[in-house]
Amino acid sequence: MDIPRIFNITESAHRIHNPFTPDKFATLGAALRLEAGTRVLDLGSGSGEMLCTWARDHGVIGTGIDMSPLFTAQAKLRAEELGVAHQVRFIHGDAAGHVSDEKAGVAACVGATWIAGGVAGTIELLERSLRPGGIILIGEPYWRQLPPTVDVAKECFATSISDFLVLHELVASFGNLGYDVVEMVLADQDGWDRYEAAKWLTMRRWLEANPDDEFAAEVRAKLSSEPARYAAYTREYLGWGVFALMRR
Ligand code: SAH
């Protein structure tokens, strides 16, 4: 079981697989006023940076589940490196439908809400692993500026303008689902650069090391087109943030 290979190539050197930077995860951890011993569940935990740094900085415990064997292996190494391997566990698997036996104080899906068919389905899924009074974290894109045409939306890898909302609509949508938005931390364009531009050097190095790979032509084409596409579209039009929710 694995995610499409292109992500394992382009994001192999990423610690954080979204437009957050380490300071944003630190800000979020502080904003949530995490207490030592709080159990955190993370669906689509990637390379485990959020869980590992929060375990180190706030003494949380918890579990991350991710479908990429590569990212899961990197998460385990990171836990060892930060000396928190006794606090956090990383499981390679499909997080769709995952409900944990031990209820969490924080249940998160940070940049992977397709796991349960979108934001509403993901909130419902996380709720089933949450203890009463717990906090749900949703990491999700929104339109920083509404794209003027559907073609511009497609350049941001959306299928249509309606794939995403503008920020105030996204925030209001959580209310419509019966949740208070109790905190939020938003990425900025520098963070987008860390996420997107870091892929370019990784692709370049990968091409040099794997010239005869069957994926080489695809990676070559991507490296040639991505910087200009990103600068013109994603960087300008797409925002991203993590929203902390508590049921009303
Ligand atoms: N939350 C992480 C990773 C976000 S990227 C971070 O902030 O760094 C999205 C992640 O979802 C990737 O790591 C990908 O491997 C994982 N993923 C995709 N589909 C999944 C599924 N069905 N179950 C579990 N993880 C999945």
- The pLDDT score that the predictor gives to residue 228 is 98
- The pLDDT score that the predictor gives to residue 218 is 96
What average pLDDT does range 21-33 have in this prediction? 98
pLDDT 10s digits, 172-213: 999 999 999 999 999 999 999 999 999 999 999 999 999 999
Q: At what angle do helices 216-229 and 189-209 cross, to 10 degrees?
A: 150
The structure's pTM equals: 0.97
- The pLDDT score that the predictor gives to residue 227 is 98
126 CA to middle of ligand 1, Å?
15
What average pLDDT does range 68-81 have in this prediction? 98
CB 183 within 8 A of CB 244: yes
Q: How many CB atoms lie within 10 A of CB 4?
A: 8
What average pLDDT does range 49-53 have in this prediction? 98
- Decide whether any atom of ligand 1 lies within 6 Å of the 51 Cβ: no
Could you tell me the two tokens for 241? 């943030």
- Residue 115 CA, closest ligand 1 atom number: 22
Confidence of residue 224 (pLDDT cuts 50, 70, 90): very high
Query: Best of 10, 51, 114, 115 to mutate for ligand 1, by most ligand atoms within 8 A of CB?
Result: 115
Burial class (CB in 10 A: 0-12, 13-18, 19+), 33: exposed
The helix (run of H) or strand (run of E) holding residue 171 is helix 167-176
- The pLDDT score that the predictor gives to residue 176 is 97
CB 51 within 8 A of CB 65: no
CB 43 within 8 A of CB 115: yes
pLDDT 10s digits, 125-160: 999 999 999 999 999 999 999 999 999 999 999 999
**Cα–chain center distance at 234:** 16
Euclidean distance between CA atoms 113 and 43, whole angstroms = 9
Could you give phi then psi for residue 39, rounded to 5 degrees?
-90, 130
Bridge pairing between strands 104-110 and 130-143 = parallel
